Amino acid sequence: MTGGEGDGQAEGLMTNGVAEAAGKQAMSKKVFLYDTTLRDGAQAEEVAFSLDDKLRIAEALDSFGIDYIEGGWPGSNPRDAAFFDEVRKLSLRHAKVAAFGATHHPKNAPADDHNVKLLLAAKTPVVTVVGKSWDMQATQVLGVSQKRNLELIHDTIAYLATRTDEVIFDAEHFFDGYKANPAYALESLAAAVDGGAHTLCLCETNGGALPFEVEEIVVAVRKALPAARLGIHCHNDADTAVANTLAAVRAGARQAQGTINGIGERCGNANLCSIIPNLSLKMGYTTVPASHMKGLRDLSVLVYELANLSRRPHQPYVGRSAFAHKGGIHVAAVRKVSAAYEHVKPESVGARRRVLISDLSGKGNVLAKAEEFGVDLDGKDEQTKEILARLKELEAKGFQFEGAEASFELLMRKALGEWKEKFVIERARVVSNFADLRGSNWAEAVIKVRLPDGSSAHAVAEGNGPVNALDRAIRQALSGYYPQIASVELHDFKVRLLDERTKTAAVTRVLIESGDGTSRWGTVGVSANVIEAAWSALVDSLEYALQKRGKKKPAGKKAPKR
């Protein structure tokens, strides 16, 4: 062998060795994500996923990069049974689907147990088995001896391990069990390992543990079972589920279980929408592909919509307010250096910065909103000061522009002379009937508007209440001249009394959220007359919709997407 050949071989061995070491290091920093939205999340109050909902969520989880998708209990209901049939028809590219079940009935052998049979009938590559790791749960809840409980764990997993690709053991109530009887809790894990479990998931089922407790216990388990692959499953009853999950990963867990948006029974599960960016962006672990992280907010919104739950605006990372800035000092700083008041870049998780307009605003807020709206405004301009003064004057009267940015854009454009009247209300009247002997509830609105060509349009419409009648009438009046008005829909309507001490005589603020299929916007109206307040917000909404379609970008500037 020549020296050159030897050097080349040595270099190749060194390269392979480095690559192997790098691969091991990368795997040591990999945390596998196990999503249980379709099972544990579906146990949340007011959540009821349809079969189609579950399939859509499964596809979204797979596209995002989740490693495991728990589909439910195959034998608990017809919908979950159908899910396992239908999910096999999907072209999932990454995620493994898991069927969930419990240890076999004490009176049955695993081969004769109905629920164990259903787990195998689901034909999933992964089966997750939950078993008791707290001695009290075994003896007082399940009603078996400690020894018999260990047999149930071992025998169920041993039976399934030879018939499916991967078995995960969910050690239920593990942390409470460990604190009560450490030796027995570890015996339950050992029984699962002896049965052939691939992963031992330590479940903080009651949700009451604190992060330092979780970390200490996971470290102890690592010492007792150094070769075992550990997972963590936390509930949020003490509002520590995310922190507990991060503590467990820090101590050595390499599978993190949770749900999208933290939905789940009682106070919910560990929130994957917080866990994933914390692990990836803050702690240096590998979770989903970096390019997929920008889809986090979209995934959150999809699950909220399909669960028919209102989004939590203040939810970290993905909430509407997560990167919203209101104080003038904050806005001025973040416009210079984003890290001044943002712990990560909003775009990294698919969010965007929002500047709120209120009586706490400074010039920076107005300038930031002008830039967002595509309005050319100079901070030294007298018009900026006038807009700010007008804003604070209106806020003092009860207007609130935080949820009504469209109204503020109209205010700004009117002050700058950039707004052209789309219509003028000549008169409007509404009559409402809600208390007759037949129990009928109707309202009739009469509207007359003057259009830009000088003509007038007159419309009469009935509706379910005065606001609905006014909405229908003005749309009818405008539709001939502005056919695009048909695409505008009213999505939300909120009423608030501004001075509760005056009861029914209080000034009322009405916030309306509208949309046209591509975007949404909010408008506001304030009056002592609730119908007048609603009417003002409604007119602003339609004016904004028409202004939005005819809006031009200022020269030399690129209007950001809204």
Strands 324-325, 354-355: pairing is parallel
d(CA 358, CA 168): 52
pLDDT of res. 386? 74
Could you identify the residue written with the tokens 């109209």? 410
- Side chain identity at residue 347, one-letter code: E
Helix (H, G, I), strand (E, B) or coil at 272: helix
pLDDT of res. 560? 36
- Measured CA to CA in angstroms, residue 560 lies from 45, 298, 332, 372, 550 at distances of 39, 19, 19, 6, 16
pLDDT of res. 15? 40
pLDDT of res. 438? 57
pLDDT of res. 368? 65
CATH of 31-305, one of 2.40.50.140, 3.20.20.70, 1.10.1060.10, 3.30.1330.60: 3.20.20.70
Structure tokens belonging to residue 183: 């030796």
pLDDT of res. 323? 80
Domains in the chain: boundaries: 1-30, 31-305, 423-481
Instruction: Judge whether 508 and 496 are in contact, CB under 8 Å.
Output: yes
The pTM of this model reads 0.69
Other CB atoms within 10 A of residue 491 CB: 11
**Torsion-angle region of residue 123: left (phi > 0), alpha (psi -120 to 50) or beta?**
left
Q: State the Cα angle at 543 between 537 and 544, rounded to 5°.
A: 90
d(CA 295, CA 60): 10
pLDDT of res. 380? 53
- Measured CA to CA in angstroms, residue 92 lies from 68, 240, 534 at distances of 11, 32, 47
Structure tokens belonging to residue 527: 């009056």
Q: How far apart are the first and last CA of the chain?
A: 68
**What is the SS3 string spanning 447-465?**
EEEECCCCCEEEEEEEECC
pLDDT < 70 positions in the chain: 1-28, 327-328, 331, 354-381, 395, 400-404, 434-440, 499-506, 549-562
- Side chain identity at residue 505, one-letter code: A
Query: Residue 356: CA atoms inside 13 Å, Cβ hemisphere, count?
Result: 18
pLDDT of res. 514? 86
